[in-house]
A and B are shown apart, each in its own frame.
Chain A
Amino acid sequence: MDTAVDTLVKPFIDASEMWVPDGDRLVHAGGNYGDLTEFRSQSEQESFAKGEGLPGKAWAEGRPVVLKEFDGSYFKRTEAAKAAGLTAAVAIPVFDGSTLKAVLVVLCSDSEDRIGAIEIWENRDDLLMLDDGYYGAAKQFEWVSQHTHFPPGQGLPGGVWASDTPILMRDLGSGYKFIRAESAGKAGLTTGLGLPIPAPGKTTYVLTLLSALGTPIAHRFEIWDARPSKVGQDKAAVLADGICAREGALWSDETQAERRVKAWEGLVGKVLGSGLPVVERGGAGTHGYETFVGLPIYREGQVSRVVAWYC
């Protein structure tokens, strides 16, 4: 199918890139930069030592990192980023136990009409508190989030934390009583994807991607379950939940056949087989969207889940 992009809809994320360890450095391993060709070419030349730059910091600290101000920071590609209009980035490390497998970095640009949220929650004193987040123009929602905490099981972050499972929530602000619903509704946020981010230390991290209709983080979200306790001995995954702007609900109930992919079958299978994030632009398997981003989540030495979003 041809790529179908609604040109009226501005994406919340401008670029996604993947960095993988090679010896003592992180090297570029793919990405989608859209039209930001200059930034792309500089990024492809770049590499990071542990603790260096944003990906290196996520590696060194063993945790996801949000950076909202490039000037004067540890960000290495500041000038190129500024030239590309990028103003914020989030680095999401993929750890298998204490071994870093990759770092996924998403980059966003600031504008008055970019609404969305990429949040990192961490547990402190048995509550999930906001560590940091990038909200674009959703300033009021940002303020509310900074003053919200979640006990286990409550809200999207608390639910992800308690169940150790990615969760996809709908209709965040429209008529349903999502915990931050009122301000989410005002901000136009509709869909929320929460996922646990395993890290080597004892702190639990939960990443949430909250998407608005006008400037969506993604048009399609999928959560795949790859645990052996769910799929058996084969390296495979079943679609646990998903929603698509064009196809609607993607899940199947208990009376329907499961959607299942094996390792290396399609893009989700590539994530499963390689054990690495996959950022793919266009082509087969992106369901007509421009970009596929697939993120593996590790548990007990193997990929337990794959979370995918299509922008």
Chain B
Amino acid sequence: MTRKQLVIIGAGMASGRLLEHLLEADASAYDVTLFNAEPRGCYNRIMLSPVLSGEKSFPEIVTHDDTWYADRGITCRFGERVVKIDRDRKVVTGEKGDVAYDKLVIATGSSPFIIPVPGKDLPGVVAYRDLEDTNAMIDASGTRGGRAVVVGGGLLGLEAAAGLRLRGMEVTVLHLMGHLMERQLDASAGHLLKADLERRGIRVLTEASTAEITGDGKVEMVKLADGTELPADIVVMAVGIRPETNVAKAAGLNVNRGMLVNAQMESTSDPDIYGLGECVEFDGNIFGLVAPLYDQAKVLAKTLLGEGDVFNVKQLSTKLKVTGCDLFSAGDFNEGDGREDIVFRDPARGVYKRLVIEDDRLIGAVFYGDTADSNWFFGLIQSGEDISENRDTLIFGPAFQGGAPVDPLAAVAALPDEAEICGCNGVCKGDIVSAIEGGAGDLGAVRAVTKASGSCGTCTGLVEQVLAVTLGDGFQMPTAQPMCGCTDLTHEDVRRLIKSQELKSMPAVWQAGAWKTPDGCHSCRPALNFYLLADWPVEYQDDPQSRFINERKHANIQKDGTFSVMPRMWGGITTPDELRAIADAADKFDVPTVKVTGGQRIDLLGVKGEDLPGIWADLNRAGMVSGHAYSKGLRTVKTCVGTDHCRFGTQDSTGLGIKLERALWGSWTPHKVKLAVSGCPRNCAEATCKDVGIICVDSGYQVGVGGAAGMDLKETERLADAKTEEEAMALTIAFIQLYRENAKYLDRPYKWVAKVGLDWVKARVVDDLDERQRLIDAFALSQSVYQKDPWAEHVKDRTDDYTPLADLTLEAAE
């Protein structure tokens, strides 16, 4: 009997698996002809990354070699493209001739997506899809010191980057989104992955938009939208794949994003044609990972043999093939109403685990650094079983199920003496126990004897637990107020951590500080945002979403939902032109209330949100900038008229006030900061109740700090006496910067000074001239980034943000 003719287009992993199933079930059912555009048969394409890195050889990843095909009587037409399918005649036409079919399988896979930027066709721009692409990258890496730019921070791009780095190239990864592998990972895991890659010498740029690729006859440079230029000897495009459907389309088959098939893998438009693998679309889904492709192959083998089976779309999990990077992601881990997170972090081991639960079922999981139980969690996601009984211990994996929640003291008690407690200073548990037994009865004493917890401070809790375990009732655990429910660390701990570990992003802080939530809360995010921008003004990018409404809108929200607008009046000085512009703006925008403030400026109250850009633009045109009356930053520098007009004035208090305001405006601080300069001890500018108050005297300037006249009333304390105006400014700026670097968020200077002591402040600002200069330089660096008029910026770029969308009155006012 003549055997049926089966023609398969594409010798990828899916069709390879199809052949295995088909031949195993009935080797005599079909005569098989296999077309492949690549000049070779089936190989394990997902292992190309280790071939690129040199950790595998190509022969190791060949699934079916020539002998395998020959032994099974398969006619191979490798290196030959299919140019046409004649469905009426049931003939496939290859570049070298026709083949008739009874059944046809289209398994053409996918093609890489190339972003449509100028220069994309230059030699040296490669995709990452097959062995040829891999070999092109390996060839490029042969040049010592060669530079590679990988466009795309997904699975393929990162594997390419790691491989090229191992081959010796200088590698930069460009990723359009805010964190790597954003489809598979949340921001916290993405941060850990980025840090891991950076440890390998790979540069990672997120939010990087490729604008152009340039070069003379070959690729030489990648230009980003922000103007950054990256020299490159090779550019790898790894931004995604799309189903390869040209052959199917030309044959008139139903094609949407992919070739449409039913659950038996049959084309929806021809019962003798089947689709398989990455080229197909089923039930609205397309496929890029190997597991569903193998499921399809199994179903199609049965279909071709006349047996019944159904392809189902299942949950998928992701693993990255970069040696030493352990990550796992599965299911849906987006935030949403009714969803709960369970987060576990172990900063010392670089472990992050997050489970997402909805309706008492595990629906998503993201793990970094510890993937031991990933299969168990994946099973829970797939089964959808009720996990409510094990919820408390679920994050610890199957080994803990049924047991009691872990007692941290029991864990510390079980630690051997050699267990390292303080990584910064190399202090083991035994050292601490010895110190305690030698009389160190509290944290301070242990720190003094062993240095444990004396650096970054993250082990403070552990040291206290060792104290508790060793002393029993003799030790009272301190009850320091943690920053918020997301962490056990205090604000001070977090600030110390940010500095000592050079943490420059929120995900970095969340990980190092063992945050219990995936991405912080409304309480810790504004504080972290300030701490990070204060410590790393250049490296850290301000996050507007982590600011209170007033700072996001750059205006004070009022109780009726309108806003107040207050232009800056330098040192309380204004001009008739400015006053006219303010009056015109008040008229034009129907401002119901115009108020002279205690800070010597004019407040326009009752401005509608949508009018903000307009009124700001008008005031900008008159030369005025935002008064930052809403911000945790410099508010005003109140002055008296000084020697210019006052017969008691001893110095130019107005001039000094203006200079100070011009130096300090725009800076972000832990809380609002108000200054005043009085020209004589009569103190008309009320300087002695300000955060910084300067009293001019005949001999110079008395600089006081830490005053208050709000909820608390407090007179300033004398920081120092300055002989010159320059020295008074230097002392003020250094004090403000010290406050910025050390204070707890939402502590006014008087509260902060009370905590650290004025002597501590004086030692740094007054006595230590090098430190004073460092503070001044650090402030100048910060101002080079942040001293910008937000009104002008928002008018230019963000006017749409002020279009009314929702009732904002429920959001927390300052």
User: Does B60 lie within 8 Å of A249, measured CB to CB?
Assistant: yes
Query: CB of B755 within 8 A of chain A?
Result: no
Q: Contacts A97-B418, A162-B200, A255-B290; is A243 near B168 (CB within 8 Å)?
A: no
Shortest beta-carbon distance from B198 to chain A in Å: 9
Q: Which residue of A lies closest to B142 (CB)?
A: A177
Q: Which residue of A lies closest to B166 (CB)?
A: A159
User: Does A177 lie within 8 Å of B416, measured CB to CB?
Assistant: no
Binds A, one of B227-235, B237-245, B368-376, B734-742: B368-376
What 1/0 mask marks residues of chain B from 419 to 460 whose CB sits below 8 Å from any chain A CB?
Answer: 110000000000000000000000000000000000000000
Query: CB of B54 within 8 A of chain A?
Result: yes
Query: CB of B57 within 8 A of chain A?
Result: yes
- 5 A-B pairs with least C-beta separation: A163-B324, A153-B200, A229-B370, A177-B142, A153-B201
Query: CB of B771 within 8 A of chain A?
Result: no
Q: Which residue of A lies closest to B167 (CB)?
A: A177
What 1/0 mask marks residues of chain A from 238 to 278 whose CB sits below 8 Å from any chain B CB?
Answer: 00010100001101011100000000000000000000000
- Contact among B60, B290, B291, B370 for A170, CB-based, below 8 A: B60
Query: CB of B791 within 8 A of chain A?
Result: no
What 1/0 mask marks residues of chain B from 319 to 334 whose CB sits below 8 Å from any chain A CB?
Answer: 1010111100000000
Q: Which residue of A lies closest to B398 (CB)?
A: A232
User: Does B372 lie within 8 Å of A229, measured CB to CB?
Assistant: yes
- In whole angstroms, what is the CA distance A98 to B141 when docked? 39
User: Does B46 lie within 8 Å of A241, measured CB to CB?
Assistant: no
Q: Contacts A97-B418, A254-B46; is A154 near B372 (CB within 8 Å)?
A: no
User: Does B139 lie within 8 Å of A177, measured CB to CB?
Assistant: yes
Contacts of B201 in A (CB 8 A): 151-154, 158, 162
Query: CB of B294 within 8 A of chain A?
Result: yes
Contacts of A243 in B (CB 8 A): 60
Q: Which residue of A lies closest to B373 (CB)?
A: A232
Query: CB of A67 within 8 A of chain B?
Result: no
Contacts of A248 in B (CB 8 A): 60
Query: CB of B612 within 8 A of chain A?
Result: no
Q: Which residue of B lies closest to A169 (CB)?
A: B54
User: Does A169 lie within 8 Å of B46, measured CB to CB?
Assistant: no
Query: CB of A6 within 8 A of chain B?
Result: no
User: Does B319 lie within 8 Å of A254, measured CB to CB?
Assistant: yes
Query: CB of B96 within 8 A of chain A?
Result: no
What 1/0 mask marks residues of chain A from 120 to 162 whose CB sits below 8 Å from any chain B CB?
Answer: 0000000000000000000000000000000111111011001
Q: Which residue of A lies closest to B57 (CB)?
A: A170
- In whole angstroms, what is the CA distance A162 to B197 when docked? 9
Q: Contacts A154-B201, A168-B55, A177-B139; is A232 near B399 (CB within 8 Å)?
A: yes
User: Does A154 lie within 8 Å of B326, measured CB to CB?
Assistant: no
Shortest beta-carbon distance from B351 to chain A in Å: 7
- In whole angstroms, what is the CA distance A255 to B20 when docked? 15
- Contact among B54, B168, B397 for A171, CB-based, below 8 A: B54
Shortest beta-carbon distance from A7 to chain B in Å: 26
User: Does A232 lie within 8 Å of B397, measured CB to CB?
Assistant: yes
Contacts of B371 in A (CB 8 A): 229-230
What 1/0 mask marks residues of chain A from 159 to 183 whose CB sits below 8 Å from any chain B CB?
Answer: 1001111011111100011110100
- Contact among A168, A170, A228, A301 for B372, CB-based, below 8 A: A228
Query: CB of B310 within 8 A of chain A?
Result: no
12 contacts between A and B (CB under 8 A): A153-B165, A153-B166, A153-B199, A153-B201, A155-B166, A177-B138, A177-B139, A177-B142, A233-B399, A248-B60, A251-B56, A255-B291
Q: Contacts A152-B201, A153-B200, A162-B199; is A170 near B319 (CB within 8 Å)?
A: no
Q: Contacts A97-B418, A254-B46; is A153 near B202 (CB within 8 Å)?
A: yes
Classify the secondary structure of B's interface with A: loop
Query: CB of B349 within 8 A of chain A?
Result: yes
Which of B165, B290, B294 has its CB near the most chain A CB atoms (within 10 A)?
B165
Contacts of A178 in B (CB 8 A): 54, 167
Query: CB of B47 within 8 A of chain A?
Result: yes
User: Does B54 lie within 8 Å of A176, measured CB to CB?
Assistant: yes
Q: Contacts A253-B46, A255-B290; is A241 near B168 (CB within 8 Å)?
A: no
Query: CB of B44 within 8 A of chain A?
Result: yes
Known: A153-B200, A255-B294; 5 extra A-B contacts, CB below 8 A, are A163-B200, A169-B54, A170-B55, A231-B372, A233-B399
User: Does B202 lie within 8 Å of A163, measured CB to CB?
Assistant: no
Q: Contacts A151-B201, A171-B54, A177-B139; is A230 near B319 (CB within 8 Å)?
A: no
Q: Which residue of B lies closest to A175 (CB)?
A: B138
User: Does A229 lie within 8 Å of B294, measured CB to CB?
Assistant: no
- In whole angstroms, what is the CA distance A178 to B52 when docked? 11
User: Does B54 lie within 8 Å of A154, measured CB to CB?
Assistant: no
Query: CB of A111 within 8 A of chain B?
Result: no
Contacts of B294 in A (CB 8 A): 255
- In whole angstroms, what is the CA distance A151 to B168 when docked? 9
Shortest beta-carbon distance from B181 to chain A in Å: 16
What 1/0 mask marks residues of chain B from 323 to 366 whose CB sits below 8 Å from any chain A CB?
Answer: 11110000000000000000000000101000000000000000
Contacts of A255 in B (CB 8 A): 290-291, 294
User: Does B60 lie within 8 Å of A177, measured CB to CB?
Assistant: no
- In whole angstroms, what is the CA distance A243 to B319 when docked? 22
Query: CB of A300 within 8 A of chain B?
Result: yes
- In whole angstroms, what is the CA distance A233 to B406 when docked? 15
User: Does B323 lie within 8 Å of A159, measured CB to CB?
Assistant: yes
Query: CB of A99 within 8 A of chain B?
Result: yes
- Contact among B47, B139, B349, B399 for A229, CB-based, below 8 A: B349
Q: Contacts A152-B200, A177-B139, A178-B54; is A229 near B369 (CB within 8 Å)?
A: yes
- In whole angstroms, what is the CA distance A171 to B294 when docked? 30
Shortest beta-carbon distance from B626 to chain A in Å: 44
User: Does B55 lie within 8 Å of A241, measured CB to CB?
Assistant: yes
